[in-house]
Amino acid sequence: MNDSLKVCALEDVPERGARGFEVFWDGRAIPLIVLRENGQIRAYLNSCPHTGVRLEWRADDFFDAEGQHLQCTTHDARFRPEDGHCVAGPCRGQALVAALLEERDGQINLLDPQSLPRSARRR
């Protein structure tokens, strides 16, 4: 795990919120959803396990109307923010692909980008 990529500043992700980012590694874009809650940062590949499309329809709009689950706007799949597990929709029982992050000195970095699959189609 020698590679790391700058994703964003910690302050770019609102508390109890999520933002989408793209990082570039080895000639490809890696779309990420970065979440922050109670000081915890986590990230998932922005790719629905059902069809591979990105979850949001509008930029940075990842949560359902209740603000409880991440939602794929294509087929209404719902994912728990704490572990990416799908609890409703066509990919129920599957999960978003977790990305390994590091926060250091107010900066969020993606660790081990080569471990992420080459999925996540653009809309």
Domain membership flag for residue 16: yes
Q: How far is CA 18 from the centre of its chain?
A: 8
pLDDT at 28: 86
Domain presence at residue 83:
yes
> Considering the domain boundaries, does residue 55 fall inside one?
yes
**pLDDT of the residue at 98:** 96
pLDDT value, residue 122: 52
SS3 114: helix
| pLDDT at position 2 | 58
Q: Which domain holds residue 43?
A: 4-115
- The tokens of 88 are what? 């409703």
Contact 112, 100 (CB under 8 A): yes
The CATH code of the domain that includes 10 is 2.102.10.10
Does residue 41 form part of some domain? Answer: yes
Instruction: Determine the pLDDT at residue 26.
Output: 85
Domain contains 120: no
Q: 86 lies in a domain?
A: yes
- pTM value surpassing 0.85: yes
Q: Does the residue 26 lie in any domain?
A: yes
Q: Examine residue 110 and state whether it is found in any structural domain, yes or no.
A: yes
Q: What pLDDT, on a 0 to 100 scale, did the predictor assign at position 103?
A: 93
Q: How far apart are CA 4 and CA 113, in angstroms?
A: 7
pLDDT of residue 115: 85
Q: How many domains does the chain have?
A: 1
What is the full per-residue pLDDT of the chain (123 aa) written as tens digits? 457 899 999 999 999 999 999 999 888 899 999 999 988 999 999 999 999 999 998 999 999 999 999 999 999 999 999 999 999 999 999 999 999 999 999 999 999 998 888 665 554
8 A C-beta contact, residue 96 and residue 69: no
